[in-house]
Structure 1
Amino acid sequence: MNNLSRRSRIGAAAIAAGLLTTSLTACSGASAHDDAIRVGYFPNLAHAGAILGVEGGYFADHLGDVDLTTEVITAGPDAVTALVSDKVDMAFLGPAPAVNAYLKSDGDVTLISGASSGGVRFVARPELVESGDFSGAKIASPALGGSPDVALRYWLGDEGYAVDVPDAENGVSVVPQEPGQSVGAYASGAIDGAWMHEPFVSLLEDAGAEEVVDERDLWPGGQFATTVLVVRTSVLEERRDDVEAVLAGLVDAMDAIDSDPSGSRAIVASFIAGQTGLELDPALVGKAWSSIDFTTDPLEDTIESGARRAVVQGVLDSADLDGFVDLGPLTEVGGSE
């Protein structure tokens, strides 16, 4: 597929964005045909590859006669549940819940690709940022045990705060909530800040919050796995061609992001707005988009480091990832290993 055809299809998909979306409620994990591939993903910018794969038709193109059904998920633990309960075959999710799914499934989850790096920040009320003291603050994360949640708890602990000990002199409460609720929660005073994905932290900045930490600054070279793609190992073994078809669609979606970033942003922003009900200014989306590196490189070292941090936080029982990653299928379709 050449770049011109990608751009043309992106433009057409932008008009239909939102209409093609299949929600979690609508799908409920069911498919019209027994051979359907079921893919889960989140409505945020770090999942642009997945969103474009669906909305731009890239997954469907490579799957051919095999049906594609989708699950729109808003939290990592929900993605883990969907995987281990056989509601989805493949899922785009953060590295911490991906590892959790691997451990909970006794190895029946395999990481086969990266999808993004960056695009996660901590923002808070200006007076807290100015004082540098977050004691007594209520900070939101997308979900208990999600990658931003682990990063937030690790950072707070490293800074000497007592996490979820509100009565302590230096106590900070972590408030798990859906990202789409964060702006309203901030305005009402229910939270004082959030460690979340884009575009939600940029929306909080529009509401008056200021940046505390860009998570890129906490990792060597500014690179860390934000979104990865996993598949149930049994599905990979039994339906490798279909799994590789989705991977080929992801590679095409990544090419589309490179060749037509503005068109890609329009599709992704429209999808997120349709899922969350939040208005997304194109300038805000463009700024937030620039903080994300869309790549199929899973950045394995950062996944292992994150898993060790999650063990310290009590989110994971183990950081033993032997056998978790298989990039062979990605290599077969021309992705980077």
Structure 2
Amino acid sequence: MSVEPKIVAGVTNGGASLVVSKDIRNVEDLPGTELATPQFGGTQDVALRHYLLDQGLGEQVTVTPSSNGTVPQLFARQAIDGAWLPEPHASLLVKEHEAHRLINESSLWPKGKFPTTVLVVSQDFLAEHPQSVAKLVAANAQSIHWLNSVSAAERLSAVQAALNKINGSSLSDEVINLALGQVSFDEIPLEDTFKTLVAHQSAVGIGEPGEVTNIVNDQWIGQRPWE
């Protein structure tokens, strides 16, 4: 049995930022600070550690992995100076806790694009159920097409309804609307970025270098069965 993942479509790009207290105005203010990330070894954790390494600040900033749910409390108590967070958590700190975006991760990537969410299936499932995968990719594409076609108000309403259904609650319209402005929806999986992501992980000492040349299978991208 092979559980090797295959990325069959993109979903969401962008939407991660280093948000910090108002006293930190530029990168030169970061030495001596403590910054949070959602999880050790996760996407934002690697992004922060690699950014600090690239800026020569790897030994001058404390990185503290903390769950997204506890970061606002830590920030409000001034137990941390900021955090590298995905949306909508970054926008929550900006909108409700007087933080500001010091670094938008999009500014660090070619053409300002990096993957946040992708559609993944196991290689076994792909081999055994190609028609199901094709339908899954098509449904994903249709959802993205709808999100990119409707008004901002309709998009906000749909996202809020989905979040409330899944979690039983959500954040304010102001926070979710700000967060939606930080992301884009696209079925193209940005294949060239995955090699860079793995290289960044290895550079900061988390995991080993890996081969991701064949991680994307895009044969179903571009279908428009609803048209």
TM-score by length of 1: 0.61
Residues 47-70 of structure 1: CA deviation (Å, up to 9, x unaligned): xxxxxxxxxxxxxxxxxxxxxxxx
1:244 to 134, 149, 173: 134
Q: Which residue of 2 is the match for residue 330 of structure 1?
A: 221
Aligned pairs, number: 223
Q: 2-side partners of 1:290 and 1:190: how far apart?
A: 28
**Residue 137 (1) aligns with residue 27 (2):** no
Secondary structure of the residue aligned to 2:83 is: strand
Identity of aligned residues (%): 29
Structure with the higher fraction of residues in helix conformation:
1
Structure 1 residues 157, 208: closer, same or farther in 2, change over 3 A? same
Q: 2-side partners of 1:226 and 1:179: how far apart?
A: 16
Gaps of 5+ in 2: none
Map residues 200-279 of structure 1 onto 2, 5 A cutoff: 200-206=89-95, 207-260=97-150, 261-272=152-163
Q: 1-side partners of 2:164 and 2:38: how far apart?
A: 17
Once the two structures are TM-superposed, the CA of residue 130 in structure 1 deviates from its matched residue by 5.4
Q: Which residue of 2 is the match for residue 126 of structure 1?
A: 22
1:111 to 3, 7, 10: 7
Give the RMSD, CA atoms, in angstroms: 2.4
Q: 1-side partners of 2:4 and 2:27: how far apart?
A: 47
**Residue 280 (1) aligns with residue 171 (2):** yes
Q: Which amino acid aligns with 1:197?
A: P
Q: Which amino acid aligns with 1:299?
A: L
Q: Which residue of 1 is the match for residue 62 of structure 2?
A: 173
1:309 to 188, 200, 216: 200
Q: Which amino acid aligns with 1:178?
A: S
Is the Cα contact below 8 Å between 1:180 and 1:278 reproduced in 2? no
Is the Cα contact below 8 Å between 2:16 and 2:44 reproduced in 1? yes
Residues 3-61 of structure 1: CA deviation (Å, up to 9, x unaligned): xxxxxxxxxxxxxxxxxxxxxxxxxxxxxxxxxxxxxxxxxxxxxxxxxxxxxxxxxxx
Structure 1 residues 297, 175: closer, same or farther in 2, change over 3 A? same
**Structure 1, 232-241 or 255-264: larger mean CA deviation:** 255-264
Secondary structure of the residue aligned to 1:317 is: coil
Secondary structure of the residue aligned to 2:69 is: helix
TM-score by length of 2: 0.88
Is the Cα contact below 8 Å between 1:273 and 1:280 reproduced in 2? no
Larger RCO, structure (CA 8 Å, separation 6 or more)? 2
Structure 1 residues 326, 147: closer, same or farther in 2, change over 3 A? same
Q: Which amino acid aligns with 1:267?
A: A
Residues 85-136 of structure 1: CA deviation (Å, up to 9, x unaligned): xxxxxxxxxxxxxxxxxxxx97621111111111111111111235832223
Structure 1 residues 193, 115: closer, same or farther in 2, change over 3 A? same
**Structure 1, 272-281 or 209-218: larger mean CA deviation:** 272-281
Gaps of 5+ in 1: 1-104, 164-169
Once the two structures are TM-superposed, the CA of residue 323 in structure 1 deviates from its matched residue by 2.2
**Residue 182 (1) aligns with residue 71 (2):** yes
Structure 1 residues 314, 278: closer, same or farther in 2, change over 3 A? farther
**Structure 1, 284-293 or 152-161: larger mean CA deviation:** 284-293
Q: Which residue of 2 is the match for residue 14 of structure 1?
A: none
Structure 1 residues 308, 107: closer, same or farther in 2, change over 3 A? farther
